[in-house]
Amino acid sequence: MGLATPAWVADAVVAQVFPDRFRRSGRVAAQQDLELLSWGSPPEQRGFQGGDLLGVIEGLDRLQALGVTALSLNPVFASAAYHRYHTFEYFQVDPLLGGNGALAALIEAVHGRGMHLILDGVFNHCGRGFWAFHHLLENGEASPYRHWFHVEQWPLKPFPGPGETCGYHCWWNDPALPRFNHAHPGVRRYLLAVARHWLAAGIDGWRLDVADEVPADFWREFRETVRAERPDAWIVGEIWRDGRPWLEEPPLVDGGLFDGVMNYPLAWPVLGYFGAASLRSDLVLPALNSAPYQPLDRAAFERQVETVLGWYPAATRRAQLNLLDGHDTPRALHVLKGDTAALRLCLLFLFLLPGAPCLYYGTELELAGGPEPLCREAYPWERSPGPLADWISRLAALRRDQPALRSAELRFPPSPHDDLVLLERGAGRQRLWVAINRCDQALTVASPAGASRRLWPQTPDAAAGDGERSRDGEPGVVEVPGRSALILALEPAGAAPMPAGP
C-alpha cells in the first residue's frame, strides 16, 4: 500500500499567521477594559498586542488575494504567553483571541471560501498554569497527577532562585514549560482527546511543535487517532533536519508518523543561492546551534536541493510544508539584508517546489524583522500591498494553473552559467522548463526542444517568442534578464499546445 497523504495539500498555498500580531478586531468582549500593548509596539516588548481570531476573519480577503488557500495558526489555546506555547487549557481557545466561538466562526469562514485551517499542537510540554501541573504545585506528592510529569525532587520550584533547580523535566530547561510524561495513560488519553476534539470541531490538520522531542510511539497512536477522526487531515511535524525517521516508520501500513515536515533544509539552500550576494551568513539559529545561511554556488545549491528531495518518496514530497522563514527564525528579508529582488527569486523557487509553499504573515508587505522575537511584528494594516504582493499572487496563480508545479518530479538540467539555474518540473505532457538568473546581467541559454509557450513572465501574447520555439528539433536561444526568470511549457512531439498561464 502506498503512502496515504492528504491529496489537498499538494494544491495548497499556506499562510502562517501569528494570532496576537496579525489583526485586532476590537470586537472581543474579553479584551474590554484590559490594558494591551499598543498595536505596532516593538516586538521585543513582552506582552499582548491583542490580535484575535475575529481579526483573522477580517484579514481573509487580503490573504485570499495573495492566493492563500490554507492557514496555519500559531497556538490559540489558553495561555499566559502572547505566543501561546505555554498552554494551560487545551480545550479552551484563549479568551483574548475570542474564545471557542471565535475559532468556530473562523473555521466556518475559512471553509466557506474553500480554504483549510490547521492548528499548532503543543503536545510535548504545557505551561506552568496547566491545570494538572497546578495540582502538583498545590498538593505536592499527594497529587494524583504527580506521574503526568517527570518529577526529580520535591518540593517543586516553578520559579527557582539563583542556583536552584525546578525539580522537574522542562523544555530547554525553562521552568515555565513542564514536559509531559507521555508514558502515562492519562496523559495520552488527554492529549489524544484534544487532537480528536478539534478535528471534530472542523480543523483540517495539526502542525506538531518540537515533534522530535516526543516519543515515536505516542505519535503512532496520535496518527491512528487523527486518521480515524479525519482521514484527510494533514499532520505536519516541526522537524528541523532530515525528517525520514518520522516519515518512514515501518509499523504503519500507510507510511510514517506524519504526512510531512516543515522543510527547513530546503529553505537554507534557496536563501543561500539566490541571496548569496547579500546574505547575513553570521546568523545562528538556536534550534540548530549553527548558522545555516551560507552563500552557495549553483552546484552546491542543486546538490543540496536534490539531496533533500531525494530523502522522501513522491507522495511525501507533495505533502511537505516548504517555507523560507517563520515565527522562530529571522524573516527572509532580514537574512537577505533587505534585498527584495533576491527575495522575489527565493519566493519564485519556493512556489516551484513539490509540496505546499508557506508564506509567513507580512512577507508581502516586506516585513524584515530579525531573530526571534523581532520577527513577530504587528501586521501594518495601514500599509497597502505593493509589487511584492502582486508577485506572490501571480506565483500562486501560476502554481494553481500548472499541474506540473504540484507534481513530485523535479530535475536540474546542466546550465552553462553559475548564476543561472535550470530545472524541469512535471512529467509527460505536463512539463515545464524554468531558467532563473540570480545576477544583474542578462544571460543567454539554449531553450529545450519542445518549448512551445511562455508562462513566465506573463505577456499579452503568451506564445513563444523568436528564438524560444525549437525548429526542426533544434533548440533556440533565449535571454533571461538579470534577477528574473523564464518559464516555458514543454510539449511532446506532435502534441497540441498547452494553454497559456495566467
Q: Which residues does the annotation mark as catalytic?
A: 209, 238
Residue 275: CB atoms within 10 A of its CB come to: 26
What is the SS3 assignment for 267? helix
Q: Is the peptide bond before 457 cis (omega within 30 degrees of 0)?
A: yes
Residue with cell 498554569: 129
- Alpha helix ranges (H) inside 148-297: 185-200, 216-229, 244-247, 264-274
Q: Evaluate the CA torsion angle 168, 170, 176, 181 in order and state its sign.
A: negative
Q: How many helices (H) and strands (E) does the chain have?
A: 14, 17
The span from the CA of 256 to the CA of 236, in Å, is 11
Q: Give yes or no for a contact between 140 and 133, defined as CB atoms under 8 angstroms apart.
A: no
12 burial type by CB count under 10 A (0-12 exposed, 13-18 middle, 19+ buried): buried
The pairing of strands 70-73 and 116-121 is parallel
Which amino acid is it at 299? A
Cis amide linkage into residue 373, ω under 30° from 0: yes
Sequence-distant (≥ 6) Cβ neighbours of residue 192 within 8 angstroms: 221, 222, 225
**H or E element in which residue 451 lies:** strand 451-456
